[in-house]
Structure 1
Amino acid sequence: MFDTKIAFIVRNDLAHWQRMNVVAFLATGIASAAPEILGEPYVDARGHEYGSMSIQPMLVFEAGLDGLQKAHRIGLERGLTMLPYVFAMFSTGHDEANRAVFQEEDPDNLQLVGLALRGPRKAVDKAIKGLPLHP
């Protein structure tokens, strides 16, 4: 059992490719924010070396905008590591533009399409309470 928990919440009204894309971007953010979660590289029977993956499970949940905003508020209150993905990021083509459109968002009403959370297990559980796992 891990002391921390990692959860991704993706908006339930997105196209499937958008959901996958959002979770992929958020996963890179979690790895960057918590490099200690990365294990050793994988090596096959012939000695080919592959990349590292997380040593702990990551769960994917779904929610509407209100559920994402609630999880975000609780995450802020609990001091969780959070990585947001807002709708306006779909219209940009690079990281600098993503950060620019994010900064223009109303912090009290983020138009979230995805949110990654990492922190103490109980605090993350509080933020995702009542959200279903992504099918």
Structure 2
Amino acid sequence: MTTSTPVPSGARTADEPFRFDTKIAVIVREDLAVWQKLNVTAFLASGIAHAHDDIMGTARYEDASGNDYLPLLREPVLCFAADAPALTRSHARALSRGVPTALYTAGMFAGGNDEENRAAVRAIPADALDLVGLAVHGPRAAIDKVVRGLRLHG
């Protein structure tokens, strides 16, 4: 008979995956062209990278040949698809929970730079934004509520 050593509360065993206390989710409107979905996802991920000082990995990557690579986000990013009403619902949920949120609106596709994009967002009230994408970061339970009912992009 074998016995196992008890694992302290909150600790994990070697065969358990690491589970972050926070979660990152990107939500992209499903009716966009593929290039738009990828573009929106990239922009939103860059916004999330600024959510907190510790959201980025702690070190750069290096391959066995000695090539140096930039650090990445420290935790997985879950990507969801949504129609326009579901995106609006998720936006309202994110705002009501006060979680760090990045957004991308349809008007930003016409902008040529960051200043024009910020002006396009600033001109429209939150409940009237034509959202094409959101990214959120925060406690797992709060983010789960923001994305409730959405399906993973696939």
Q: Give the distance between the partners of 1:74 and 1:126, measured in 2 at CA.
A: 7
- Aligned with residue 91 of structure 2, among 72, 79, 83: 72
Alignment equivalent of 1:119, drawn from 138, 145, 152: 138
Choose 1 or 2 for highest CA Rg. 2
Matches within 5 A, 1:1-135: 1-39=19-57, 40-135=59-154
- Greater RCO between the two (CA within 8 Å, min separation 6)? 1
* Bigger fraction of residues in helix: 1
Q: For 1:35, what is the secondary structure of its paired residue?
A: coil
| 1: CA distance, partners of 2:88 / 2:69 | 37
Q: Is the 8 A contact 1:69 1:109 kept in 2?
A: no
In the TM superposition, what is the alpha-carbon distance from 1:131 to its structure 2 partner?
A: 0.3
Distance apart, 1:33 and its partner CA: 2.0
What secondary structure does 1:74 align onto? helix
Alpha-carbon deviations, 1:14-71, whole Å to 9, x = none?
Answer: 0010000000000000002223121110011122211101110000001011111101
What RMSD, in angstroms, separates the aligned Cα atoms of the two structures? 0.8
Gap regions ≥5 residues in structure 2 = 1-18
**Counterpart amino acid of residue 79 in structure 1:** G
For normalisation by structure 2, the TM-score amounts to 0.85
Which string of whole-angstrom CA distances, capped at 9 and with x for unpartnered residues, describes residues 97-123 of structure 1?
000001111211211000001111000
- Structure 2: which amino acid aligns with 1:34? H
Superposition TM-score, scaled by structure 1 size: 0.97
In structure 2, give the amino acid aligned to 1:49: D
Which consecutive segments of 4 or more residues in structure 1 shift more than 4 A?
none
